[in-house]
């Protein structure tokens, strides 16, 4: 029973939609429609197949024989003077060609408000991607009763129904194709069928939905608005997600062609392992055990490598109970795959080839992508060590005649000094530049202020760098570093180097760059380098300041993996909530023997952001997590802003 005739609580009374004037008019139209055609929400509408497939509006507009006819009339019209009509004989011959295809049955949403002109009207239908004009003439059209699916005998019924249509309604139409005097392909409607009523008015066709929170919260309305919007900057919302789908499809095809097998591993796991992250926790009633939403499928996929799957992959949803930002969402999509008998260098080669081909297909043939005014070139992948990258992008000059980065960071106390210096300078920048940024000062003015701050504070920040680093490792100012074990020093040094890299280097990387030679102590699942036991055979791929992929030569020695897990447990007991837990079953699997292997995880959402020029991960996820809507009169609680940090 529709809202026009229900005897129970309506969706307006329930507070789900507002009872505005336009809504009331639409409900009245629906009530009148039901008197004319009966059921206002029929079960189906069968489209024709003159194109060889289902005749969606997009398929009709792309059908080669029809495209050629439209091209011919358009080319002719371009030769005409202003106000001159097409040659009637040419137009007639082209219309006969179109009529020869037979009647078409098309359906879609009314893309514009119906405009009745006397006893005829033109209106556009949309299938969400493209539009097709239909022409309804009172004397020619009949309307279908949705109760018996037969034409209604009243000769005025179709016209009466048409006048009750609203912008956004769904209708089906049957008729023949023809060309207007402007060369527009249209359908001359002979039979009309009402399919669904839009009770809510359509968004602004000129501007769409401007508020990003509303676009994300009501993605269905965003998709409608974007499809109806007259002018766009960049991709439409639908095009963003179509490009996402093409990227994923291209990656799948590349892996399938290379002999990889797609699998599915548990999304609820007894242990939150495979990555350093905070999990979501739930409880299984029947088994009476805690379970965790998957933070990564890595250890399950490597179990399969143990079991004989030499090439395996999974497109997976991961869940991490952490903060929101423009590049973090609690639920996100990863592609992870593993290859036996391959090392980290082979995996970088393979990943580079896969990304080049997949990006090329997703963008329609280009490896150059514009992102926020910068060109990202996917034809060029650089490889550089973490320490070399720090030296390359270091912006504070030398101290005591020593360049920062490279071998200088091998020293434990020097790593503390460098990290503490960066921490202090960033605090100084934050205090000194906030006012300029708040007033939208020019980049040049900000750089001048930075130079002033450097001259004023740099030497002192360097002098006190080591003591400042204590803030980063949660040690009291009077702590004696000599009390640390060798392992603790290696762990702290690794964290200091990583901190400096994240603060100094990440934001400056634009083109695809593999950062290699990570400290082993922050890479508990990767093999150590044969040349340096403190370095992991690991890489992370950075593009435009974002980590997009993480991979390594997989550690397959069960005893060493056990010892690495034990170190992680100690870190966890020391207060690191994101350190990994011990997974005994994974150690048992390794004890059966796992071949040398390399693996990688690629963040699909971030990659899509880069390919679609979107600055928030929420804009490339169809239904991102949002805080609950506030009812009228309710106040937002503390910390409940949707602003991304």
Residue 622 CB-density burial (10 A; 0-12 exposed, 13-18 middle, 19+ buried)? middle
Q: Is the pLDDT of residue 208 over 80?
A: no
| 357 in a structural domain | no
Taking residues 506-513, report their average pLDDT. Answer: 96
* Domain contains 69: yes
On average, the pLDDT of the chain sits at 92
DSSP codes joined into one string, 74-143: HHHHHTSPTTPPPPHHHHHHHHHHHHTT--EEEEEEE-S--EEETTEEEEEEE-SS-EEEEEEETTT-EE
Q: Are 473 and 495 in contact (CB under 8 A)?
A: yes
Using the 8-state DSSP alphabet, how is residue 377 labeled?
E
H/E element holding 223?
Answer: helix 219-228
Is residue 233 included in any domain, yes or no? no
Confidence band for 204, pLDDT divided at 50, 70 and 90: confident
Residue 152 lies in a domain: yes
Model confidence at 634, pLDDT cuts 50, 70, 90, reads low
This prediction has a pTM of: 0.90
CATH of residue 121's domain is 2.40.50.140
Residue 28 belongs to some domain of the structure: yes
The DSSP secondary-structure symbol of 305 reads H
Residue 187 predicted with pLDDT over 80: yes
pLDDT of residue 633: 57
Q: Supply the pLDDT for residue 636.
A: 47
| Among the ranges given (190-199, 313-322, 352-361, 622-631), the one the predictor scored with the smallest mean pLDDT | 622-631
**Kind of pairing, strands 374-377 and 185-196?**
unpaired
Choose between 326 and 406: higher pLDDT.
326
User: Would you state the pLDDT for residue 401?
Assistant: 62
pLDDT-derived band at 641 (thresholds 50, 70, 90) equals very low
According to the model, what pLDDT value does residue 303 have? 97
Closest CA to 623 of 109, 222, 203: 222
* Residue 537 resides in a domain: no
> Over 90: is that where the pLDDT of 268 sits?
yes
Q: Cα separation of 394 and 385, whole Å?
A: 14
User: What does the pLDDT average to over 471-485?
Assistant: 86
Number of domains in the chain: 1
Domain range for residue 42?
21-202
State the residue for tokens 């390399």: 598
**Average pLDDT of 106-127?**
93
Task: Grade residue 267 by pLDDT with cuts at 50, 70 and 90.
Answer: very high
Q: Which residue in 545, 509, 553, 547 sits closest to 528, CA to CA?
A: 553
Strand 546-553's sheet: what is its strand order? 261-262, 311-319, 331-340, 597-603, 546-553, 535-543, 513-519, 382-385
Question: What tens digit of pLDDT does each residue of 120-165 get?
Answer: 999 999 999 999 999 999 999 999 999 999 999 999 999 999 999 9
Q: What is the mean pLDDT of residues 91-117?
A: 95
Please compute the mean of the pLDDT values over residues 604-627 and round it to a whole number.
Answer: 95
Residue 644 has pLDDT above 70, yes or no: no
* 52 inside domain: yes
Quick check: 411 pLDDT over 60?
A: yes
């Amino acid at each position: 029973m529709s809202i026009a005739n229900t005897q129970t609580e309506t969706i307006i009374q329930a507070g789900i939609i507002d009872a505005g004037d336009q809504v009331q008019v639409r409900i009245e139209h629906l009530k009148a429609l039901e008197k004319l055609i009966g059921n206002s929400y029929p079960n189906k509408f069968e489209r024709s197949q003159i194109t060889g497939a289902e005749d969606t509006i997009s398929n009709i507009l792309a059908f080669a024989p029809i495209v050629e006819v439209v091209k011919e009339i358009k080319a002719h019209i371009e030769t005409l003077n202003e106000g001159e009509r097409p040659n009637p004989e040419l137009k007639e011959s082209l219309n006969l060609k179109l009529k020869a295809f037979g009647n078409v049955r098309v359906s879609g949403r009314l893309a514009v408000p119906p405009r009745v002109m006397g006893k005829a009207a033109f209106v556009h239908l949309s299938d969400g991607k493209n539009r097709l004009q239909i022409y309804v003439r009172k004397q020619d059209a009949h309307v279908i009763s949705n109760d018996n699916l037969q034409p209604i005998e009243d000769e005025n019924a179709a016209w009466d129904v048409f006048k009750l249509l609203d912008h956004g309604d769904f209708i089906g139409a049957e008729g023949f194709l023809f060309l207007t005097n402007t060369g527009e392909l249209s359908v001359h409607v002979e039979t009309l069928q009402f399919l669904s009523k839009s009770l809510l008015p359509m968004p602004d066709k000129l501007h769409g939905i401007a508020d990003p929170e509303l676009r994300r919260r009501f993605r269905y309305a965003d998709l409608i608005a974007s499809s109806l919007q007259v002018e766009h900057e960049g991709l439409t919302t639908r095009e963003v997600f179509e490009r996402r789908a093409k990227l994923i499809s291209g990656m799948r095809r590349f892996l399938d062609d290379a002999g990889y097998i797609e699998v599915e591993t548990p999304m609820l796991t007894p242990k939150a392992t495979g990555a350093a992250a905070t999990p979501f926790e739930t409880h299984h009633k029947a088994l009476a055990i805690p379970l965790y939403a998957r933070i990564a499928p890595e250890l399950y996929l490597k179990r399969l490598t143990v079991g004989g799957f030499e090439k395996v992959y999974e497109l997976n949803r991961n869940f991490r109970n952490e903060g929101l930002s423009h590049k973090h969402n609690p639920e996100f999509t990863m592609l992870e795959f593993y290859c036996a008998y391959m090392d980290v260098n082979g995996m970088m080669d393979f990943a580079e080839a896969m990304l080049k081909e997949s990006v090329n297909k997703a963008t329609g043939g280009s490896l150059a992508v514009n992102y926020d005014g910068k060109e990202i070139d996917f034809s060029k992948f650089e490889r550089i060590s973490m320490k070399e990258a720090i030296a390359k992008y270091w912006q504070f000059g030398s101290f005591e005649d020593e360049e920062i980065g490279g071998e200088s960071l091998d020293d434990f106390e020097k790593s503390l000094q460098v990290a503490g210096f960066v921490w202090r300078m960033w605090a100084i920048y934050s205090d000194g530049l906030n006012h300029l940024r708040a007033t939208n000062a020019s980049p040049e003015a900000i750089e001048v202020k930075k130079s002033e701050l450097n001259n004023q504070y740099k030497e002192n920040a360097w002098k006190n760098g080591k003591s400042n680093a204590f803030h980063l490792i949660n040690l009291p100012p009077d702590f004696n570093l000599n009390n640390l074990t060798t392992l603790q020093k290696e762990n702290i040094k690794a964290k200091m180097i990583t901190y400096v890299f994240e603060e100094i280097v990440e934001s400056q990387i634009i083109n695809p760059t593999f950062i290699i030679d990570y400290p082993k102590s922050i890479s508990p699942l990767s093999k150590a380098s044969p040349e340096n036991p403190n370095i992991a055979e690991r890489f992370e791929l950075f593009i435009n300041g974002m980590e997009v992929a993480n991979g390594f030569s997989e550690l397959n020695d069960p005893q060493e993996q056990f010892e690495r897990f034990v170190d992680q447990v100690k870190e966890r007991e020391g207060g690191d909530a994101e350190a990994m837990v011990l997974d005994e079953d994974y150690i048992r699997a390794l004890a059966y023997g796992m071949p040398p292997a390399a693996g990688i995880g690629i963040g699909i959402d971030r990659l899509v952001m880069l390919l679609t020029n979107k600055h928030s991960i929420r804009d490339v996820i169809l239904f991102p997590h949002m805080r609950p809507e506030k009812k009228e009169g309710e106040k937002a609680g503390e910390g409940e802003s949707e602003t991304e940090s």
